Amino acid sequence: MKITFLGTRGGYPMGGQTSCARIEGNCGSLIIDLGSTLLFEHPDWVAEADHVLMTHLHPDHIAHLASLVIARLNLPAAEGDVSFVAPESIRDYMQFSGLEQVPGWRQKELVPSEWGGFTLSAIQTRHPRKNHAYRIYDGNTTLVWTGDCSYSEELADFCAGTDVLVCEASMKEEHIDNALEWGHMTPGMFARLMNEAQPALAVSTHYTELEPADFAAIVRPLLNENIELVTAFDGFELVIPVTM
């Protein structure tokens, strides 16, 4: 499995691309969230982007959703509609944007167990807007992508046994009350989730109040020594060994 992080920032402060990633597995590829313009620097990826997971419909995760649909209509290599899996209605978003008549997309009513060759499941996390954490298996590697969330025992149980756990890294520890209210992670909550879930790789993304290096410096001493910490950044490519 290979993950290309096309956007790793939260909504504020700016200075980078917001949430978006491309996952390549033995069975194909999919996109998670559409907050980054970097995706559109790869027309072949846009043409192939017919399976898109949306964690939730906050602006930093869906800013370029309509752009993807429209771009594919103008690419001869793009075949068929974009298929979305999301916790809320994509149609409502398109109607709100005045784009309800734009063709080329559809939404799965439920989270399918098999989708584009991947095995898929989801759980709702603690976040003000309905957010899905997704568990994705490509036949070799299991990945959990949390989207926006704060810690919960239910989330830890959902993540248990995964090879790779990609989790948001939004808040400073001194703002834990805000993190709980707004549905985001502090370094302490991030470390607790990882220590309970026990992935081989813990990956941080969605930086808001802390830069990646500062977040990592706080988290590393809190993690069990058998968990490797990886800090994602815009444009970062993470290749996950098959033997993991």
Q: What's the residue count for the chain?
A: 244
Convert the pLDDT of each residue in 128-148 to its tens digit: 999 999 999 999 999 999 999
Residue 185, pLDDT > 80, answer: yes
- Residue 241 has a pLDDT of 82
Sign of the torsion formed by the C-alpha atoms of 185, 191, 196 and 202: positive
Q: What is the mean pLDDT of the chain?
A: 95
Distance of alpha carbon 40 from alpha carbon 45, whole angstroms: 8
Domains with residue ranges and CATH for the chain: 2-239 (3.60.15.10)
Distance of alpha carbon 228 from alpha carbon 225, whole angstroms: 8
Share of the chain above pLDDT 90, in %: 95
Distance of alpha carbon 17 from alpha carbon 8, whole angstroms: 6
Alpha carbon dihedral 210, 212, 215, 220, in 10-degree steps, equals 180
- Residue 210 has a pLDDT of 94
Residue 155, pLDDT > 80, answer: yes
Query: Which residues on neighbouring strands pair with residue 2, listed in sequence order?
Result: 24, 239
Count of other CB atoms within 10 angstroms of residue 241? 11
Backbone angles phi, psi at 139, to 5 degrees: 105, -20
pTM of the model: 0.96
Query: Which residues on neighbouring strands pair with residue 171, listed in sequence order?
Result: none
Confidence of residue 52 (pLDDT cuts 50, 70, 90): very high
Convert the pLDDT of each residue in 75-123 to its tens digit: 999 999 999 999 999 999 999 999 989 999 999 999 999 999 999 999 9
Distance of alpha carbon 12 from alpha carbon 223, whole angstroms: 27
Share of the chain above pLDDT 70, in %: 98
Residue 14, pLDDT > 90, answer: no
- Residue 152 has a pLDDT of 97
Sign of the torsion formed by the C-alpha atoms of 89, 90, 96 and 100: negative
**What are the residue ranges of helices labelled H in the chain?**
43-48, 59-62, 65-73, 90-96, 153-159, 176-182, 187-197, 212-219
Contact 48, 22 (CB under 8 A): no
- Residue 11 has a pLDDT of 81
